[in-house]
Amino acid sequence: MKLKPLADRVLVRRLEVEEKTVGGIIIPDSAKEKPLKGEVIAAGPGKLDDNGSRVALGVKEGDAVLFAKYAGTEISIEGVDHLIMREDDILAVVE
What is the pTM for the complete model shown? Answer: 0.80
Give me the CATH topology for the region 9-16+33-93: 10 Kd Chaperonin, Protein Cpn10; Chain O (2.30.33)
CA distance 20 to 28: 9
The candidate with the shortest Cα–Cα distance to 62, out of 87, 84, 94, 40, is: 40
16-74 pLDDT, tens per residue?
A: 766 666 777 776 666 666 778 999 999 999 999 899 899 999 999 999 999 988 889 99
Q: Can you give the residue ranges of every domain in the chain?
A: 9-16+33-93
4-15 pLDDT, tens per residue?
A: 999 999 999 988
Burial class, 1, CB count within 10 angstroms (exposed 0-12 / middle 13-18 / buried 19+): exposed
